């Protein structure tokens, strides 16, 4: 339970930063994406869902979807199958934006 709340708190903090900084957050996208991609493979549904929401928020408020996806392509070859699935689901959500 403790790890769940730590992961969700981290996602909430990043979400607040994206809201606050808007396009100025773009410079930090490359720094946070590896961790966000890893969280797409989290064992907890709630963490995966909030992570995907944050990724879409980054694409809407901080950087273009193309900019983000150029840096997320490695997620399709991630060692964790749940992460690969999460990246595919995120792509579907991006296309439906």
C-alpha–C-alpha distance, residues 63 and 56, integer Å: 10
**Confidence category of residue 90, pLDDT binned at 50, 70, 90:** very high
When comparing pLDDT for 1 and 75, which is higher?
A: 75
Residue 31 has, within 13 A of its CA and on its CB side, a CA count of 5
- Domain residue spans of the chain: 2-95
pLDDT at 97: 84
22-57: pLDDT as tens digits: 999 999 999 999 999 999 999 999 999 999 999 999
**pTM of the prediction?**
0.90
Q: What is the pLDDT of residues 17-30, one digit of tens each?
A: 999 999 999 999 99
85, pLDDT greater than 80: yes
- Token digits for 32? 């946070």
Whether domain 2-95 has CATH 1.25.10.10: the reply is yes
């Amino acid at each position: 339970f403790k790890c769940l709340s730590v992961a969700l708190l981290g996602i909430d903090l990043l979400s607040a930063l994206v809201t606050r900084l808007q396009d100025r957050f773009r410079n930090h996208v490359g720094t946070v994406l590896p961790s966000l991609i890893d969280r797409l493979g989290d064992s907890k549904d709630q963490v995966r869902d909030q992570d995907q929401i944050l990724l879409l928020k980054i694409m809407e408020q901080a950087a273009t979807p193309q900019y983000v996806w150029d840096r997320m392509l490695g997620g399709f070859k991630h060692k964790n199958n749940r992460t690969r699935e999460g990246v595919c689901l995120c792509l579907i959500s991006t296309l439906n934006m």
